[in-house]
């Protein structure tokens, strides 16, 4: 056998071995526990999603998972944790569209290409919320009050530089008023802030205080859906009230950039099982969430478009 032919055969055999190893790697993932790194504190909407996802990955895909809460820094703490782990899929970041706003505002030292976007799974609007005893009865009442006295109402929500603060920025821009922002490190604490009289008004997802919203202890004065939400048919949209404001936060999962394709494919297959389950569909109905299944490149493209839009808005509005 010539040396050239011997080399070709060796290369072919080596390639076949590599291919077999890759298939085995994909088939075996995960070989041990997977961490779901939630970049918010316990008790909020993102944490609730992460914990349900963990439970169903265990039940539906046979995984062993653990929820790890890493709140702070507008998402930077959780993202930093994942990016400092190996790119092997064993630390999955559970995050929101706050990612793009934090990057647009230079609140985190990362870029979209630091992540491999896996799947957006939930979508939910923002809403203007007040306590049941508030004198405000509409979003226009809120605008009038803020124009009369920009410091007269304590306004806040989840996170600094997150989706809800971005919605408030757009609200301010659309209606020409000023407002402060009191941040909370978990969305669940925003409803408690309202109920405990630490806030007069909040921009929040309805699921952040769902029991209080359903009981009437918290009233929603406006919601950022394009049309009335079937989940909240009695709540007028901002647009119905003449306010040009709409938008939705997504929640999803990503891994560190460089994670092998076969590992990502295994994660996608596990998520398919979760989203096909009756338990997931019931959870989404109970939490009043839009069920999304935006994968891979489409997910990354959506995030890029949001980043471009938000960066342009913030620059034009003079916030950057």
The bridge status of strand 127-131 relative to strand 201-204 is antiparallel
Classify residue 221 as left (phi > 0), alpha (psi -120 to 50) or beta: alpha
Specify the residue for token string 């950039």.
257
Residue 1 has pLDDT above 80, yes or no: no
Q: Are 131 and 96 in contact (CB under 8 A)?
A: no
> What is the Cα–Cα distance from 217 to 133, expressed in whole angstroms?
8
> What is the Cα–Cα distance from 246 to 126, expressed in whole angstroms?
8
* Alpha-helix runs per DSSP H in 149-277: 163-175, 187-195, 210-215, 261-276
> What is the Cα–Cα distance from 148 to 131, expressed in whole angstroms?
20
Q: What is the pLDDT of residue 6?
A: 42
> What is the Cα–Cα distance from 8 to 10, expressed in whole angstroms?
5
Examine residue 30 and say whether the peptide bond preceding it is cis (omega within 30 degrees of 0).
yes
Q: What is the pLDDT of residue 24?
A: 43
Q: What is the pLDDT of residue 86?
A: 98
Residue 71 has pLDDT above 80, yes or no: yes
Q: In whole angstroms, how far apart are CA 156 and each of 54, 83, 256? A: 30, 30, 31
Q: What is the pLDDT of residue 314?
A: 80
Neighbours of 106 (CB within 10 A): 11
Residue 126 has pLDDT above 50, yes or no: yes
Write the pLDDT tens digit of every residue in 283-318. Answer: 999 999 999 999 999 999 999 999 998 898 888 767
Q: Which has more pLDDT, 28 or 134?
A: 134
Q: What is the separation, in whole angstroms, between the first and last Cα of the chain?
A: 69
Percent of the chain with pLDDT over 90: 77
Q: What is the pLDDT of residue 27?
A: 63
Q: What is the pLDDT of residue 13?
A: 39
Q: Which has more pLDDT, 162 or 306?
A: 306
Point out which residues pair with 122 in neighbouring strands.
Answer: 251, 291
Residue 159 has pLDDT above 90, yes or no: no
Q: What is the pLDDT of residue 251?
A: 96
Residue 8 has pLDDT above 60, yes or no: no
Residue 21 has pLDDT above 70, yes or no: no
Residue 110 has pLDDT above 90, yes or no: yes
Work out the angle at residue 46's Cα, subtended by the Cα atoms of residues 40 and 47, and round it to the nearest 5 degrees. 70
């Amino acid at each position: 056998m010539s040396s050239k032919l011997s080399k070709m055969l060796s290369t072919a055999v080596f390639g076949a071995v590599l291919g077999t190893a890759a298939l085995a790697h994909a088939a075996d993932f995960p070989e041990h526990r997977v961490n779901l790194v939630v970049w918010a504190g316990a008790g909020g909407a993102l944490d609730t999603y992460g914990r349900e996802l963990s439970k169903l990955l265990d039940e539906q895909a046979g995984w062993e998972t653990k929820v790890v809460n890493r709140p702070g820094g507008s998402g930077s703490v959780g993202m930093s944790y994942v990016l400092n782990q190996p790119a092997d899929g064993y630390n999955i970041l559970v995050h929101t569209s706050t990612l793009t706003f934090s990057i647009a505002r230079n609140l985190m030292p990362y870029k979209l290409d630091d992540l491999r976007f896996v799947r957006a799974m939930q979508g939910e609007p923002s809403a203007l919320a007040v306590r049941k005893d508030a004198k405000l009865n509409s979003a226009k009442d809120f605008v009038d009050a803020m124009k009369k006295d920009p410091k007269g109402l304590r306004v806040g929500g989840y996170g600094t530089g997150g989706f809800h603060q971005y919605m408030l920025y757009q609200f301010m821009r659309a209606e020409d008023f000023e407002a402060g922002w009191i941040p909370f490190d978990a969305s669940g604490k925003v409803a408690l802030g309202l109920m405990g009289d630490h806030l007069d008004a909040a921009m929040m997802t309805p699921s952040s205080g769902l029991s209080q919203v359903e009981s009437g202890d918290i009233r929603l004065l406006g919601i950022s859906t394009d049309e009335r939400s079937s989940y909240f048919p009695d709540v007028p949209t901002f647009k119905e009230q003449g306010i040009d404001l709409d938008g939705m936060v997504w929640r999803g999962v990503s891994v560190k950039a460089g994670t092998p394709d076969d590992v990502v494919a295994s994660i996608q297959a596990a998520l398919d099982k979760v989203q096909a389950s009756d338990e997931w569909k019931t959870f989404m109905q109970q939490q009043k969430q839009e069920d999304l299944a935006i994968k891979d490149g489409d997910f990354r493209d959506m995030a890029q478009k949001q980043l471009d839009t938000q960066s342009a808005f913030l620059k034009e509005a003079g916030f950057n």
